[in-house]
């Protein structure tokens, strides 16, 4: 089977964005048509589309939806531009941790500077669609390059991963999961262990689904079983994705990643991060500067909608945590492998990205 697609644009610049609703997976494959920005923002906030690169692509297409709104409302050029900029801020701030979202929105908006000051809304929509398509296609290429670089360094043996970093999370084959599937397609044989990834179960619902669809053996474990699994010596490497990587290599990723990195270090298992250069935020010195999204209590108190705690209990629900660079063996990017993970090496590998 070919990799699933997380999102796609339907039609020309007056068309709409279609998002594969990941909250319904693996039970149902349902596409959500987004004809207004409100629907795109809601889809990002509620993780119908998720994963750092994929929400960046959704943000870029969301701007086209904003320009199409301006066309339908018959807004004059100045009001159309103001509308797109205001909607752009709503999109960019829909989720705070993955830097790819704001990066993609700002990159697309930057393209509008080349247009005449009195460019009509339809011209804005066309320019924004061209840029969203470019970001989408570029991410597909970056994923393939990350897969190639990563497959070359991934040690032989079973791998343990966290959250979902596959086709559902990107515009291509994925980052960490793309490394795993590339290694598999090159003939390497191993078993993939996938943390279920509470509270939203991206590992169990999405990673396991992608791997089962591809015929790659996958075993799902409770996040709390990872320490015991590593202690058995059955895991050769851990590999995860990233939502934001700072100048020193500190890495924000799905909650539970930091615990896994500590456990991997305790058991001498190498811990890899795979991410495109768009996930690096070199303006931030360390992970302490990364905004960590806090989500509502229902996800923890009633997982998958089933009440699991008494009424009156409170919840602690950070969506991400920060893994210090010292716990990361190497970071795999489209430009090559950052090893060791130091500020100097990051700057050298990313160069003039
Ligand atoms: O809350 P999510 O599901 O958007 O979190 C996703 C992750 O943490 C991924 O590991 C990360 O975005 C990398 S996706 C290639």
Q: Ligand 1 centre from 322 Cα, in Å?
A: 13
CATH 3.30.470.30, domain 146-350, yes or no:
no
* Residue 353's pLDDT band (cuts 50, 70, 90): low
Judge whether 7-140 and 146-350 match in fold.
no
Q: pLDDT tens digit string along 303-351?
A: 999 999 999 999 999 999 999 999 999 999 999 999 999 999 999 999 8
The per-residue pLDDT for range 258-278, each reduced to its tens digit, is: 999 999 999 999 999 999 999
Helix (H, G, I), strand (E, B) or coil at 53: helix
Strands (E), 11-99: 16-20, 31-34
Token pair of 331, please?
Answer: 């970071």
Atom of ligand 1 nearest to the CA of 275: 15
**For the chain, percent of residues with pLDDT exceeding 90:** 98
Q: Is 36 labeled as catalytic in the residue annotation?
A: no
pLDDT tens for residues 10-28? Answer: 999 999 999 999 999 999 9
Report domain extents, the chain. Answer: 7-140, 146-350
Q: Give mean pLDDT, residues 36-58.
A: 98
What pLDDT score does 351 carry?
86
Q: CA 208 to CA 26: how far, in whole Å?
A: 9
The pLDDT value given to residue 249: 98
Query: Which pLDDT does position 317 carry in this prediction?
Result: 98
Give the closest residue to 62 by CA, choosing from 20, 117, 108: 108
Q: Of 243, 250, 281, 321, which one is the catalytic site residue? A: 243
| The predicted structure's pLDDT at residue 3 | 73
Relative to the CA of 319, which ligand 1 atom is closest? 1
User: What's the angle, vertex CA 254, arms to CA 20 and CA 257, rounded to 5?
Assistant: 140
Share the mean pLDDT of the chain.
97
Alpha carbon of 133 to ligand 1 centroid (Å): 21
Sheet holding 244-246, edge to edge: 280-281, 244-246, 251-254, 320-323
Q: Which of 4, 21, 50, 299 to mutate to test the pocket of ligand 1 (most atoms within 8 A of CB)?
A: 50
CA of 240 to the centre of ligand 1 (A): 9
pLDDT confidence bin for 54, thresholds 50/70/90: very high
Asked if the 7-140 domain carries CATH number 1.20.120.420, the reply is yes
Q: Percent of the chain having pLDDT more than 70?
A: 99
Query: CA 280, 281, 284 angle in degrees (round to 5)?
Result: 140
**What are 175-186's pLDDT values in tens digits?**
999 999 999 999
pTM greater than 0.85: yes
Per-residue pLDDT, 130: 98
pLDDT at residue 71 in the model: 98
CB-CB neighbours of 76 under 10 Å? 11
Instruction: List ligand 1's pocket residues with C-beta within 6 A.
Output: 47, 50-53, 98, 163, 165, 169-170, 174-175, 202, 241-243, 253-254, 319
């Amino acid at each position: 089977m070919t990799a699933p697609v997380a999102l796609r644009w339907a039609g020309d610049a007056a068309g709409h964005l279609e998002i594969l609703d990941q909250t319904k997976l693996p039970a149902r494959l349902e596409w959500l048509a987004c004809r207004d920005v409100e629907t795109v923002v809601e889809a990002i906030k509620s993780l119908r589309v998720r994963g750092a690169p994929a929400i960046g692509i959704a943000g870029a297409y969301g701007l086209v939806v904003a320009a199409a709104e301006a066309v339908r409302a018959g807004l004059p050029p100045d009001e159309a531009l103001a509308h797109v900029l205001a909607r752009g801020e709503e999109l960019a701030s829909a989720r705070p941790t993955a830097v790819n979202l704001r990066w993609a929105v700002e990159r697309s908006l930057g393209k509008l500077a080349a247009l005449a000051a009195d460019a009509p809304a339809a011209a804005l929509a066309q320019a924004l669609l061209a840029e969203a398509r470019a970001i989408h296609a570029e991410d597909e290429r970056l994923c393939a390059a990350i897969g190639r670089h990563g497959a070359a360094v991934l040690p032989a043996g079973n791998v343990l991963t966290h959250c979902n970093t596959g086709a559902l999370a990107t515009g291509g084959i994925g980052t960490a999961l793309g490394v795993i599937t590339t290694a598999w397609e090159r003939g390497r044989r191993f078993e993939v262990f996938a943390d279920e990834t509470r509270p939203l179960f991206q590992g169990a619902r999405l990673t396991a689904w992608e791997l089962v669809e591809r015929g790659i053996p996958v075993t799902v474990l409770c996040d709390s079983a990872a320490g015991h699994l590593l202690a058995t010596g059955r895991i050769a490497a851990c590999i995860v994705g990233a939502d934001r990587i700072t100048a020193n290599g500190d890495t924000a990723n799905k909650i539970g990643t930091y615990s896994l990195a500590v456990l991997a270090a305790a058991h001498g298992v190498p811990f890899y991060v795979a991410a495109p250069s768009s996930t690096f935020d070199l303006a931030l010195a360390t992970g302490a500067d990364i905004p960590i999204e806090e989500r509502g209590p229902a996800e923890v108190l009633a997982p998958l909608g089933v009440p699991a705690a008494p009424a009156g209990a409170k919840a602690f629900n950070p969506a991400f945590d920060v893994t210090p660079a010292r716990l990361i063996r190497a970071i795999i990017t489209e430009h090559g492998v950052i090893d060791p993970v130091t500020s100097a090496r990051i700057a050298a590998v990313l160069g003039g990205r």
